[in-house]
């Protein structure tokens, strides 16, 4: 005979157990991601960023803007570099003046409308640079929300935008948690990093990879187990940005810390 009290207790326990989705218990595992992709393509482009190597020179941003015809003086960019300065009082200062197109040539932090913040060198606990670009997510939220099918993912994992079909509603711009998308100032369609699709499909590397003198940016094919980038992703400590959004981002970072947003 079951008492009312124990019945209630057990029901709550069972309901709670059912409510916790299995996905929440699952830890991040790139091996599983690689195995998951049993699609027709033998290529799945991924990116590897080593934040230890980045010095914030901004050559990648400059080259990207010219290569991909983003107006040079417009305040949007397919890729950008962020500077993180953690000071002794525990504050995290972040900036990316002009998307770091001209590099970081000041010790002051650009706070936008609040002006420049001067930081003494002695106050710095740690400071580093983080390059950002499109994560070419496996579950791209920007593609899911497009009402007309103007943006899509190719079989090799790159998310592209059809400039002749985009209506310019801005939903994809709003949906991207990484702030990668924007409206092209000339073509007015949604615009984003596509790993220089015209280059990687010709066997070249994306222009930011070529422009980086320090090897901080690398591209690879995660379906090829012998690819050096795949080796690093599988065997070393890498992380991704905003994993909790469930987007399955495919840009892997070495040396990410909790300050990085």
Partner 1 sequence: MKNHVLRPLFVAVGVVVLILLAREVLVPADFGVQERGYMYGWHRKGNEADWKNVRVKYRTTAYCKECHQDKYADITGSPHGAIMCENCHGPGLAHPDDPQSLHIDRRRELCIRCHFRLPYQASGRGRIRGIDPATHHPEAECVLCHYPHNPRWTPGKEARR
Partner 2 sequence: MVHGEAWTVKELFVYPNEYIYWTIQIVMYPFMTGLVAGAFVLSSLYHVFGVKQLKEIARFSLVFSFALLPVAMMPLLLHLQFPLRGIEVMLTPHFTSAILSPLFCRGGPGSPQGHAAGGYAAGPLSALFAPDTRGVGYR
Site for partner 2, rule CB under 8 A: 74-77, 80, 82, 93-96, 98-99, 111-114, 132, 144-150, 165-171, 173-174, 178-183, 185, 188-189, 261
Q: Residue 113 touches which of partner 1, partner 2, none (CB < 5 to 8 A by kind)? A: partner 2
User: Is 33 or 189 the residue whose CB approaches partner 2 more closely?
Assistant: 189
Question: Locate tokens 């499909």: which residue?
Answer: 201
User: Is 206 or 220 the residue whose CB approaches partner 1 more closely?
Assistant: 206
Instruction: Pick left, alpha or beta for residue 145 (phi over 0 → left; psi -120 to 50 → alpha; otherwise beta).
Output: alpha
Gyration radius (Cα) of the chain, Å: 21
Instruction: Pick left, alpha or beta for residue 28 (phi over 0 → left; psi -120 to 50 → alpha; otherwise beta).
Output: beta
Q: Cβ 237 to partner 2, closest distance in Å? A: 26
Would you call 183 helix, strand, or coil by DSSP?
Answer: strand
User: Is 6 or 122 the residue whose CB approaches partner 1 more closely?
Assistant: 122
Token readout for 155 is 């079989």
Query: Is residue 219 within the footprint of partner 1 (CB under 8 A)?
Result: no
Among the listed residues 11, 42, 75, 106, the single contact to partner 1 using CB under 8 A: 106
Going through 178-242 in order, the beta strands assigned E by DSSP cover: 182-183, 190-191, 217-221
Instruction: Compute how many other C-beta atoms are within 10 angstroms of the C-beta atom of residue 209.
Output: 21
Instruction: Compute how many other C-beta atoms are within 10 angstroms of the C-beta atom of residue 64.
Output: 24
Binding mask 48-87 for partner 1 (x = CB under 8 A): ---xxxxxxxxx--xx--xxx----------------x--
Q: Which stretch binds partner 1 (CB under 8 A): 23-31, 89-97, 195-203, 243-251?
A: 195-203
- Considering Cα of 137, then 178, then 212, then 233, what sign does the dihedral take? negative
Query: Is residue 149 within the footprint of partner 1 (CB under 8 A)?
Result: yes
Q: Closest by alpha carbon to 217, among 226, 227, 207, 225?
A: 207
What is the rounded CA–CA span in Å between residue 201 and residue 143? 21
Q: Which residues contact 165 (CB under 8 A, 6 or more apart)?
A: 148, 149, 150
Query: Is residue 133 within the footprint of partner 1 (CB under 8 A)?
Result: no
Q: Which stretch binds partner 1 (CB under 8 A): 123-131, 182-190, 229-237, 245-253?
A: 123-131
* Entry field: residues in the chain: 261
Q: Residue 145 touches which of partner 1, partner 2, none (CB < 5 to 8 A by kind)? A: partner 2
> If binding means CB under 8 A, how many residues of this protein chain bind partner 1?
58
Q: Cβ 246 to partner 1, closest distance in Å? A: 14
What is the rounded CA–CA span in Å between residue 251 and residue 31? 15
Binding site for partner 1 (CB under 8 A): 39-41, 51-59, 62-63, 66-68, 85, 102-107, 121, 124, 126-129, 140, 143-144, 149-155, 160, 162-165, 194, 197-199, 201-202, 204, 207, 210-211, 213-215
């Amino acid at each position: 005979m079951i008492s009312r009290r124990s019945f209630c207790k057990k029901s709550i326990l069972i309901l709670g157990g059912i409510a916790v989705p299995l996905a929440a218990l699952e830890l991040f595992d790139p091996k599983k991601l690689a195995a998951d992709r049993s699609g027709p393509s033998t290529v799945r482009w991924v990116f590897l960023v080593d934040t230890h190597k980045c010095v914030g020179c901004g050559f990648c941003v400059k080259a990207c803007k010219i290569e991909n015809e983003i107006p040079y003086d417009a305040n949007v960019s397919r890729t950008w570099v962020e500077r993180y300065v953690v000071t002794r009082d525990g504050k995290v200062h972040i900036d990316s003046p002009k998307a770091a197109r001209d590099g970081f040539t000041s010790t002051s932090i650009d706070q936008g409308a609040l002006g420049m913040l001067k930081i003494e060198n002695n106050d710095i606990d740690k400071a580093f640079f983080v390059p950002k670009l499109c994560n070419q997510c496996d579950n791209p939220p920007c593609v899911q929300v497009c009402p007309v099918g103007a943006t899509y993912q190719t079989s090799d994992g790159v998310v592209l935008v059809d400039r002749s079909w985009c209506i310019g509603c801005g939903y994809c711009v709003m949906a991207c948690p990484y702030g990668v998308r924007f409206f092209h100032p000339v073509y007015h369609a949604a615009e984003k990093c596509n790993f220089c699709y015209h280059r990687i499909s010709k066997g070249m590397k994306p222009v930011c990879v070529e422009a980086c003198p320090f090897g901080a940016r690398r591209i690879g094919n995660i379906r090829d187990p012998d690819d050096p980038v795949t080796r690093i992703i599988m065997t070393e400590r890498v992380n991704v940005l905003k994993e909790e959004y469930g987007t399955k981002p495919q840009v892997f970072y070495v040396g990410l810390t909790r300050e990085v947003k």
